[in-house]
Structures are given as C-alpha cells and as structure tokens.
Amino acid sequence: MPSVRSLLTACVLVALCACGDDATGGDADAGLGVGADGSGGGASAEPLDLEGPWESFAQRPCPPDSILTWENFGASHLLAHCTGCHGRGRIGDERSGAPMDITFDDPPSVREHADRIWARAADQNDTMPPVGGPDAEQRRLFGEWIACDAPTR
C-alpha cells in the first residue's frame, strides 16, 4: 500500500503536469508554494506544508484536493468581510480609508493583490478587516482559496 507521502507527491506531480500556462497567464507553479528559487512543492524532497503557519504567501501551498471556488466560497467571503470597504462601488468615506485602487470585486482583482490580501487577512494573518472579521477556520479557507489562485468553477 502506498504511503501518504507518496500519494501526496503523485498528486502534486499530476497537478504540475496539468497546470501549464493558460489564457490567463497563470504559472504552472502558481499556488503550489514553489518559491522563486524552486523550493517548496512539486517533486522536491520536502512534502507540502499543508498545516502552516507560513511566513509568506509564496510558502502557502494550494492543497491538491481543494474544492473552493469563487462560486462556493470566494464571492460570499469577500462580500461578508471585504467589499464593504474594498468594493468598486464604494467612494469617499464609504471606503473607511481603503485605497481607491484596491478592490476585490472579482477573482482577477483578488489574484492581482493575492500576496497583500494573504498578508493582511488570510490564514494566521488577521489585521483585516480592522473590526470583527472571520474566525480562524474562515481565514484558513480564505488562505487556501487565494493560494489556489482564486479559482472559479
């Protein structure tokens, strides 16, 4: 019977082979926790660290079995916790100080700012929103979704 580690490595290899560049300009290593130096996920000797905490977004892997999408998680999470200030339709004082050019109304805008979003509001990071916000499990799921490149169906 194969070990859990060998099954996980096989899953990662399949994901790497299936996830080449696409029309959105995605990177074959996007969301898999592979750093610029090639360390992290993939076929390296180190297994993916699916537990965290992670020191950077580049270290945060996308679990190979993630089922989170814009439709079943991202849209409702952002509506509940982010777009009250970071929505395109918000202006002036409605933004509570959020920069006008930082909006999270759709997956492309999340992908554009994924590292910054992660550092402020996902996984163990909790400086956003400034008041209230999601619980630890919701932050973990948010980290997973953005580490997987904020997928849609």
Each domain of the chain, given as residue ranges in start order, spans 1-65, 70-147
Structure tokens at 101: 């050019």
Digit-coded pLDDT (tens) for 144-153: 999 999 999 8
Predicted TM-score (pTM) of this structure: 0.68
Q: What pLDDT does 45 receive? A: 52
> Coil, strand, or helix at residue 129?
coil
11-21 burial string, b = 16+ CB within 10 Å, else e?
ebeebbeebee
Q: What pLDDT does 132 receive? A: 84
Q: What pLDDT does 143 receive? A: 94
Digit-coded pLDDT (tens) for 65-101: 999 999 999 999 999 999 999 999 999 999 999 999 8
Dihedral angle over CA of 69, 75, 77, 78, nearest 10:
130
Q: Are 127 and 103 in contact (CB under 8 A)?
A: no
Q: Are 60 and 123 in contact (CB under 8 A)?
A: yes
Side chain identity, residue 126: D
Q: Are 118 and 57 in contact (CB under 8 A)?
A: yes
Burial category of 51 from C-beta neighbours within 10 Å (exposed 0-12, middle 13-18, buried 19 and up): exposed
Over residues 25-35, mean pLDDT: 37
